[in-house]
């Protein structure tokens, strides 16, 4: 994808922070059952043509976790950061979503759709905020924009 000046346009993506409020706020995350090396992630992926960003965030949550009860609260950040493996430019809109307190604690979801994750199984669960460990690709970087107390605590003094 290039523009008239030959510049590569970034791939437009979304990432979803799905929060469940119980005694403490909790973040929906998942791991690839067959690829634990991929790391713990939040639902994220590319925006389809003629699809709005909020619509894409809800679709990614449904595709990757099976969760249909999430609602978008607001967009919290836009991040321009190259893909960690390919170096290709990407622009990711991060969204804050809520889901009911009675959402299950953990489940496995078989990914549907026609994207690159189709056919994979993801182990979904909620983690209390703030997180004890950063997520894959630093996906947790913007949690503090929702609530400063949700900024990930890291062991290296940051």
Residue 33 CA, distance from chain mean position: 17
Q: Which long-range contacts (CB under 8 A, 24 or more apart) does 126-129 make?
A: 126/20, 126/26, 126/27, 126/28, 126/29, 127/26, 127/27, 127/29, 127/40, 128/24, 128/25, 128/26, 129/19, 129/24, 129/25, 129/26, 129/27
Matching CATH number, 11-150, of 3.30.420.40, 3.90.550.10, 3.40.50.1110, 3.90.79.10: 3.90.79.10
CB atoms under 10 Å from CB of 102, counted, come to 8
pTM metric for this prediction: 0.90
Which pLDDT tens digits describe the chain residue by residue (158 residues)? 444 555 678 999 999 999 999 999 999 999 999 888 989 999 999 999 999 999 999 999 999 999 999 999 999 999 999 988 899 999 999 999 999 999 999 999 998 767 778 888 999 999 999 999 999 999 999 999 999 999 998 754 43
Q: How high is the pLDDT of residue 3?
A: 46
Domain ranges of the chain: 11-150
pLDDT given at position 2:
44
- In three-state secondary structure terms, 2 is strand
Q: Residue 122, class by beta-carbon neighbours within 10 Å (0-12 exposed, 13-18 middle, 19+ buried)?
A: buried
pLDDT of residue 83: 86
């Amino acid at each position: 994808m290039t523009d008239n000046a030959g510049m590569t346009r970034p791939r437009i993506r979304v990432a979803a922070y799905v929060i469940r409020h119980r005694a403490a706020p909790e973040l929906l995350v998942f791991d690839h059952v067959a690829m634990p090396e991929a790391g713990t992630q939040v639902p994220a992926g590319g925006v389809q043509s003629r699809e709005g960003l909020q619509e894409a965030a809800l679709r990614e949550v449904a595709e990757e976790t099976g969760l249909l009860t999430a609602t978008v609260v607001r967009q919290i950040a836009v991040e321009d950061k190259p893909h960690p493996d390919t170096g290709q430019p990407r622009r990711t809109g991060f969204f804050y979503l809520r889901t009911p307190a009675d959402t299950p604690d953990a489940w496995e979801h078989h990914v549907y759709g026609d994207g690159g994750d189709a056919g994979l199984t993801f182990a979904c669960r909620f983690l209390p905020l703030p997180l004890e460990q950063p997520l894959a690709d630093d996906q947790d970087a913007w949690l503090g924009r929702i609530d400063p107390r949700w900024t990930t605590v890291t062991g290296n003094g940051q």
